[in-house]
Amino acid sequence: MPDQETPTALVRRARKVDRVLAETYPDARCELDFDNPFELLVVTVLSAQTTDRRVNAVRPTLFAAYPDAKAMAAADREVLEGILGPLGFFRAKTESLLKLSAALLERHNGEVPPRLDDLVQLPGVGRKTANVVLGNAFGIPGITVDTHFGRLSRRLGFTEETDPVKAEHAVGALFPKRDWVMLSHHLIWHGRRCCHAKKPACGACPVARWCPSYGEGPTDPEVAVGLLRTEGPA
């Protein structure tokens, strides 16, 4: 890659990387289980500081007891804490869900609003969570800048921004809106499986030839293959 990449060349390279990642991860999707917008909103809030797998494990019990905002807002705190116990920070997360459910009832008749401005006004819901819900529950284009997306967008040279909102806008400008949701999944899946924070598997990376950060991790193919994960972290 040239040191001075033109804006047009950056767009072409970024879209090529996304196409290759789409071929590499044809099953890429949200790794949180959900059946409706309310469930996705709740499990996304719960996924902070824990893994998707742990959240998925408590999900059936949680929604069997509290299937909607009305039921969850009226939940017994100790019972809810018991369900969320395996996730860690369960007291804080219980408080978050009680406040979130109450706000949905008061402001939106218990329904999850399909609008970014409304979602980010809800307790415990930031822009990242809102975009997860919009993209995966409502099919509304949005970019999810989690730690993986931010790390990869910088390593790949899509942007130098470290602020999530600025990174969202900078990377979004490189792609058509219709691609935003799947782009998020592709980068997140690649970050979880190959382009790890501490030791990226550069020698086994399908987009290495288009990556300006190639060499940050082992480039020997045999070593790099040993770093690959077949699924997201437990």
Domain boundaries, the chain: 7-28+143-225, 37-137
Q: Is 146 a catalytic residue?
A: yes
Give dist(CA 31, CA 192) in Å, integer.
11
Q: How far is CA 77 from the centre of its chain?
A: 28
Predicted local confidence at residue 231, as pLDDT: 77
Catalytic, out of 128, 166, 179, 199:
128
Q: Do domains 7-28+143-225 and 37-137 have the same CATH topology?
A: no
Q: Cα angle at 32 between 202 and 76, to 5 degrees? A: 140
Q: Which fold, 37-137?
A: Endonuclease III; domain 1 (1.10.340)
pLDDT of residue 143: 97
Looking up tokens 């602020």 gives 163
Asked about 93 being catalytic, the answer comes back as no
Q: Can you list the residues of the chain whose pLDDT is less than 50?
A: 2
Between helix 127-137 and helix 180-193 the angle, nearest 10°, is 110
Q: What was the pLDDT predicted at 232? A: 66
Which CATH architecture group holds 7-28+143-225?
Orthogonal Bundle (1.10)
Question: From the candidates 146, 179, 198, 220, which is the catalytic residue?
Answer: 146
Q: Are 88 and 98 in contact (CB under 8 A)?
A: no
Other beta carbons less than 10 A from residue 203's beta carbon: 19
